[in-house]
Amino acid sequence: MPPAEDIHRQLLGAWRMMTGKRDGIRLLDLSVDGFWNSFFAIIVALPVMVVGWVPLVNEILGAESTMGQRLGYLLRLAIVDIGAWVLPIAGLAAVAGIVGIRDRFVAYVVASNWGSALFAWIMLPPSLVRLVFPEATDAVIGLSLVLFLVTVVLSWRLTDAALDKGPAMATGIVAGVLLASILSLFALQDLLGIVVPQ
C-alpha cells in the first residue's frame, strides 16, 4: 500500500481536478507503479462501503440470521461493489484504442480510482442515516439521489481534466463507464444471488 502521504497527495489531486483545478493531475502518480497503486483506493473506500453494506445485510437477512450468514453476505456484497468498480475499467482498457484515449488511459484510471474513493466518502451520509434510522427510507433515497447527482458532475469534471480531450469525449466516457458499472452491478448481484429490497 502506498505511504499515507502519497495517498493524501493523490486524493488531493483528484479533488482539485473535480473542483475545476486541472493542475491537480500533477499530484497524481502516472507511472506504471502509480497505476497499480491507485487500486489501493478501494482500501481507502472500504470502511465507508462496509457502513453501506451492514444495514443492507440486516434488512435482507433479518435479526434471526447467524454471524456466519452475515459475514457471507457481506463478502458477496464486497465482490459486487468491487466488481462494479473494476470491471468497467477492464472494459475501457479493451476499447481505449478504439475510442481514442489510449494515451490518456493511465491518467484516467489513476484519477478515477482516487476520485472513486472520495465519492464513496461523499456517499457516507445516507449510509449513516440508514444505519441509525432504518425507517427513514424516504430521507435516505432523497439524500442519496442528490449526492449521486453531485458525484456525476464531479466525475465529469475529473474525467474531462484527466483525458484532456474535450467535453464531448468526457461526457461519452462518463456515460459509458456509468452504464458499465450499473450493468456489472446487476449482473454480479444475479450471479451471487443477492436480492436487494425495493
Instruction: Quick: pLDDT tens for 113-131.
Output: 999 999 999 999 998 888 7
Place of cell 484515449: 101
Instruction: Quick: pLDDT tens for 133-169.
Output: 878 888 888 999 999 999 999 999 999 999 999 999 9
pLDDT the model gives residue 181: 96
Among 38, 43, 176, 4, CA closest to 107: 38
- d(CA 160, CA 144) in angstroms, rounded, equals 24
**Global pTM?**
0.91
- d(CA 66, CA 72) in angstroms, rounded, equals 10
Of 16 and 193, more confident: 16
Instruction: Quick: pLDDT tens for 76-110.
Output: 999 999 999 999 999 999 999 999 999 999 999 99
Q: b/e string for 91-121 if b means 16 or more Cβ within 10 A? A: bbeeebeeeebeebbbbbbbbbbbbbbbbbe
Q: What value does the mean pLDDT take over residues 53-66?
A: 81
Instruction: Quick: pLDDT tens for 5-56.
Output: 999 999 999 999 999 999 999 999 999 999 999 999 999 999 999 988 888 8
